[in-house]
Amino acid sequence: MAQSSADFAYGFADEVWWSRTAQPALHTWCSDQPLRLVEKQRVQDDPDRQAVACYGCYLPTDNQMLLRFVDGRPISAVTRTFLAWLASRFTAQGKRALFLIWDNATWHNSKRVRTWVKAHKRLAKQKATCRLIICRLPSKSPWLNPIEPKWLHAKRAIVEPVSTLSITQLSQRVCHYYRCELLDPIAKYLC
């Protein structure tokens, strides 16, 4: 249905944590011993957090990724802010509806998020802006969400084998990998 009209869009959404210290599983070919990445230790006086959360929406028709980093962790209030950002972005593109496919995380199914989505649908219908149509994937089935391998490939591509990246450097590398704009993170106090 989403592909039937130019007024509709569809995307796959999910959240991910980008760690500054944990290294992804990588394989190497060598004649002697295989090379291994060792998990880095944080410096005691390091002001940055160990990891940063990120919301993403993968648009397969454009092969594009939309990202928003989060100050804190993904919770219902932050999810509502991310959804509002997506809706305003697609409204600006002239889309009438965004079919958003995601998993059954607790912050997706919370009463606050469901109430917000219903209210947004009513308001979008009145104002002729982009509606959000949420499509849920079955529980415990990450292989059905095409954004999951995108996260894995990015983690392998941005790895820093020697030094520990700052949160800013990490965010810049992620956005550079996906060729997307680095926006201000969603702050907890704005939700």
- pTM, full prediction: 0.84
- Check residue 28 and give its pLDDT: 59
- Check residue 40 and give its pLDDT: 59
For the domain made up of 8-19+50-190, the CATH class stated in words is: alpha beta
Per-residue pLDDT of the chain (191 residues; tens, 9 = 90+): 666 677 899 999 999 999 887 666 655 566 666 655 556 566 666 677 788 999 999 999 999 999 999 998 888 899 999 999 999 999 999 999 999 999 888 888 889 999 999 999 999 999 999 999 999 998 888 889 999 999 999 988 888 777 788 889 999 999 999 999 999 999 875 54
- Check residue 29 and give its pLDDT: 60
DSSP the chain: -TTS-TTEEEEEEEEEEEESS---------SSSPP-PPPP---TT--S-SEEEEEEEEETTTTEEEEEEESS---HHHHHHHHHHHHHHHHHTT-SEEEEEE---HHHHSHHHHHHHHHHHHHHHHHT--EEEEEEPPTT-GGG-THHHHHHHHHHHS--SSSPPPHHHHHHHHHHHHT---PPPBPGGG-
Query: Per-domain residue ranges for the chain?
Result: 8-19+50-190
- Check residue 165 and give its pLDDT: 84
